[in-house]
Chain A
Amino acid sequence: MTGRKNNRIRGHVDALATGFKYLAEPNRMTLNYPDESMNLKDNYRGFFAVKDKTCIGCSLCEIVCPPKAISMLDLTDAGGKKKKRPMIDWGLCIFCYFCVDICPTDAFQTSQVHDKAFYSETEYQTVHGEPMQYPYDYSKRPDYKEIYESFHDVAPDDPSAGSKKVVPKFDKKRGIKYEHPGQP
């Protein structure tokens, strides 16, 4: 029993000593996000948009989409001609890029933006449709044309555009370490 008690006291002392050690030499692992951000690989899959001129409305993306995030909208263009265009529900999208691969005319404008944040619920809804009801039929919304207009041709802005890009490196002492690619 005494042995166990001694161990217990030693455990307390050790824990406090370790705590003080880390307090004196902070070994931060958190990425200081909007100031620093990860340098992504070239094939990283982010948000995408549809080029309205290139799209032929063949619905292949809708058919191939695994989570059924894409639905085709019936739209009328400026000349009064009917056309079909894909609408993406970002609440469902799993960023598999099957739609990008299958597109016969290469109409998808891809980007590496993966960390889009919104200031208001309205902004989220106008860009991305109603997130609460899945799967969502966009053509039933009265404002679906505006939604489409706000969405197509342009992928969202990168919120971490001005940040320092860093690369994670394994470090024997610290575990993980972030390096700026410019530095040696």
Chain B
Amino acid sequence: MIQILSLLVSVSLLSFIEYILPPILYIIVFPGLIVVLLMLFFMIWLERKVAAKTQLRFGPLYVSKRFGGVIQTVADLIRFSFQEFIIPAGADVFAYIQAPGLLMAFGLLPLIFIPVGPYYANIFPANYSLLIVIPLIIITPIYVILLGWASDNKFSFVGSIREAFLVISYEIPLILSILSMILLYGSVNAINGVSFQIGRGIPGIVLNPIAAFLFLVVMIRTTGRFPFEISEAESEVVMGPYTEYSALFFGIGMSLPYIELYSFSLLFSVLFLGGWWPIVPSAAAASGVVGGLLLPGLVVFIKALIVMAFLVFLRAVYPRYRIDQAITVGWDQALYLGFAAVALSIALVWSGLV
């Protein structure tokens, strides 16, 4: 009896480690919630610090002075958690409360469908990963618009309308740039894309630099980095769609662009920077959690971190585009670049060069 019980326990434990733990690890630890939170703390601090350093200032310093004020963001979080949550009199209460939650959910969802290691194929069906990621990335701005409309505030409304204009003008270039990589890799499975890059020994950014550049520009636009920080322009529309929000809901609004930045950067490093390239796990190693998920994931994460650091650095350099300038870039140059990227991919595939 005891033997049977112990057998049952060991079998369930094994199956737990083998089948149940990896998805939990994927969602909760890496690249999921815990790493997202740490990345948020670090990135917001880095953005402020780098911008300050470049602009002859000190930046956050006094919270943990020895480490250059690195836990300033934690202090901000504590402040947000103890603030009063105010609902404006004219607000559409239901939409006003639910929009930030949905925004957060849809901001985090793409992370599940971006493979950070070959082990990913065992825990989630990876066959259509890119096809799922694109709509999930595109759907978040709808909730930004909802949030601005629900606030019953002129600044919120103007900010959300700006967001809507920009989303429409940069959606097609985004889809075109991902489409050109799908054509090149011959698959909508991002793992196949990475093995394509590792097999040829050429990262995607060299194969199709136009698509990579376009993706980078759209990434800057979607995550509201400078020079496209138009919908939240502080000197023009206070805080854009998030103007009326306070407490943790404002924190969600403030941190959402960074979460989007994170998922975009992971996607960028998977699609264009060779994924987990220096580490090429063998078939046996790829089926283990450490060799198939953690080590490749670390490489992808470091690449994404470098991309994020670059985009965050742009705040120090650029002023802000006017809304009409940004829309012109979206419908004019970016659209042409998108078609050029697709044409380049088709040319590469037809000519048999890759």
A contacts, CB < 8 Å to B: 15-16, 18-19, 22-23, 26-30, 32
Q: Which 7 pairs from chain A and chain B are nearest by CB?
A: A19-B317, A29-B56, A22-B54, A26-B53, A15-B317, A30-B57, A23-B54
Question: Which of A15, A16, A22, A32 is within 8 Å of B53, CB to CB?
Answer: A22
**A48 to B57 alpha-carbon distance, docked (Å):** 33
In contact, A15 and B56 (Cβ under 8 angstroms):
no
Question: Which of A16, A18, A28, A32 is within 8 Å of B56, CB to CB?
Answer: A28
* CB-nearest residue of chain A to B57: A30
Q: What is the distance, in angstroms, from B223's C-beta to the closest C-beta of chain A?
A: 18
In contact, B58 and A30 (Cβ under 8 angstroms):
yes
In contact, B58 and A16 (Cβ under 8 angstroms):
no
**A100 to B58 alpha-carbon distance, docked (Å):** 39
Question: Which of A18, A27, A29, A30 is within 8 Å of B317, CB to CB?
Answer: A18
What are the residues of chain A within 8 A of B56 when measuring CB–CB?
A: 22, 26-30
What are the residues of chain B within 8 A of A27 when measuring CB–CB?
A: 56
**A18 to B316 alpha-carbon distance, docked (Å):** 10
A–B complex contacts, Cβ < 8 Å, 12 sampled? A18-B317, A19-B313, A19-B317, A22-B53, A22-B54, A22-B55, A23-B54, A23-B316, A27-B56, A28-B56, A30-B58, A32-B61
* B183 close to A (CB within 8 Å): no
What are the residues of chain B within 8 A of A26 when measuring CB–CB?
A: 53-54, 56
What are the residues of chain B within 8 A of A32 when measuring CB–CB?
A: 58, 61
Q: What is the distance, in angstroms, from A1's C-beta to the closest C-beta of chain B?
A: 12
**A26 to B61 alpha-carbon distance, docked (Å):** 15
**A32 to B57 alpha-carbon distance, docked (Å):** 9
In contact, A23 and B58 (Cβ under 8 angstroms):
no
In contact, A23 and B53 (Cβ under 8 angstroms):
yes
**A18 to B58 alpha-carbon distance, docked (Å):** 18
Question: Which of B50, B57, B318 is within 8 Å of A28, CB to CB?
Answer: B57
Question: Which of B57, B313, B318 is within 8 Å of A23, CB to CB?
Answer: B313
* CB-nearest residue of chain A to B61: A32
Given contacts A22-B53, A23-B50, A23-B53, contact A28 B317 (CB under 8 A): no
Against A, the Cβ 8 Å flags (1 = close, 0 = not) of B320-334 are: 000000000000000
What are the residues of chain A within 8 A of B317 when measuring CB–CB?
A: 15-16, 18-19
What are the residues of chain B within 8 A of A30 when measuring CB–CB?
A: 56-58
A-B contact count (CB 8 A): 33
**A29 to B58 alpha-carbon distance, docked (Å):** 9
CB neighbors of A among B39-87 (8 A): 50, 53-58, 61
* CB-nearest residue of chain B to A19: B317
CB neighbors of A among B280-318 (8 A): 313, 316-318
Q: What is the distance, in angstroms, from A81's C-beta to the closest C-beta of chain B?
A: 51
In contact, A28 and B58 (Cβ under 8 angstroms):
yes
Given contacts A19-B317, A22-B53, 20 further A-B contacts (CB under 8 A): A15-B317, A15-B318, A16-B317, A18-B317, A19-B54, A19-B313, A22-B54, A22-B55, A22-B316, A23-B54, A23-B316, A26-B53, A26-B56, A28-B53, A28-B57, A29-B57, A30-B56, A30-B57, A30-B58, A32-B61
What are the residues of chain B within 8 A of A29 when measuring CB–CB?
A: 56-57
What are the residues of chain A within 8 A of B50 when measuring CB–CB?
A: 23
Q: What is the distance, in angstroms, from A8's C-beta to the closest C-beta of chain B?
A: 10
In contact, B316 and A19 (Cβ under 8 angstroms):
yes
**A18 to B54 alpha-carbon distance, docked (Å):** 9
Q: What is the distance, in angstroms, from B38's C-beta to the closest C-beta of chain A?
A: 23
What are the residues of chain B within 8 A of A22 when measuring CB–CB?
A: 53-56, 316
Q: What is the distance, in angstroms, from B214's C-beta to the closest C-beta of chain A?
A: 15
What are the residues of chain A within 8 A of B318 when measuring CB–CB?
A: 15
Q: What is the distance, in angstroms, from B320's C-beta to the closest C-beta of chain A?
A: 13
* CB-nearest residue of chain B to A5: B333
**A6 to B251 alpha-carbon distance, docked (Å):** 41
Q: What is the distance, in angstroms, from B311's C-beta to the closest C-beta of chain A?
A: 12
* CB-nearest residue of chain B to A32: B58
What are the residues of chain B within 8 A of A16 when measuring CB–CB?
A: 317
Q: What is the distance, in angstroms, from B228's C-beta to the closest C-beta of chain A?
A: 13
**A39 to B61 alpha-carbon distance, docked (Å):** 23
Q: What is the distance, in angstroms, from A109's C-beta to the closest C-beta of chain B?
A: 33
**A15 to B314 alpha-carbon distance, docked (Å):** 10
Q: What is the distance, in angstroms, from A30's C-beta to the closest C-beta of chain B?
A: 5
Candidate in A19, A28, A29 with the most chain B CB atoms within 10 angstroms = A19
**A120 to B318 alpha-carbon distance, docked (Å):** 39
Q: What is the distance, in angstroms, from A86's C-beta to the closest C-beta of chain B?
A: 38
